[in-house]
Amino acid sequence: MFFEMACNYNSSEICALFVRALEIQEEASNYGFEWLDVSGILEKIREELDEIEKEVVKGDLPKLKKEIGDLYMAGLHLAQFLKLDPVECLEVACNTFEKRWRKVLENVKDLPDDKVARLEYLESVWQSVKSLGE
């Protein structure tokens, strides 16, 4: 499902969106539309998460897309504010997830058929792998 969605875009389109988002934020920052410290950005991220939760309950997909996009922008802004390369941040997250997932698969025994039980089991294996510093 996720792979099919990702295949609707090519890498240059995704890269162009990253660059566009960063340019928009840089322009706003150059005009002084910038938080003075990281706490403002973190509060904005919490605000966006709250808005996403509300839209999930309502089931309004266009508004949900907007709010998830706002969360992406706030995350990019946080990286930019902290002088971190947002692409590198995402790469580190992907690498970490992939490494942990491979360890989870190595440690999985018999998967329960029930979806809830399966998720609980996989989450417990994930947390075990994570606690080992993976």
From CA 16, how far away is CA 79, in angstroms rounded? 17
CATH architecture for the domain at 1-84: Orthogonal Bundle (1.10)
pLDDT, residue 52, reads 98
Token pair listed for 75: 């995350």
Which range (9-23, 51-65, 111-125) has the least confidence? Answer: 9-23
From CA 126, how far away is CA 42, in angstroms rounded? 26
Helix 61-81 vs helix 38-58: angle between axes, to the nearest 10 degrees? Answer: 170
Burial 69-102 (b: 16+ CB within 10 A, else e): ebbebbbbbbbbbeeeebeeeeeeeeeeeeebee
Average of per-residue pLDDT across 78-85: 95
Average of per-residue pLDDT across 37-48: 98
Highest mean pLDDT among 15-24, 62-71, 108-117: 62-71
Closest CA to 107 of 93, 94, 124, 92: 124
128 has a pLDDT exceeding 60: yes
pTM of this structure = 0.84
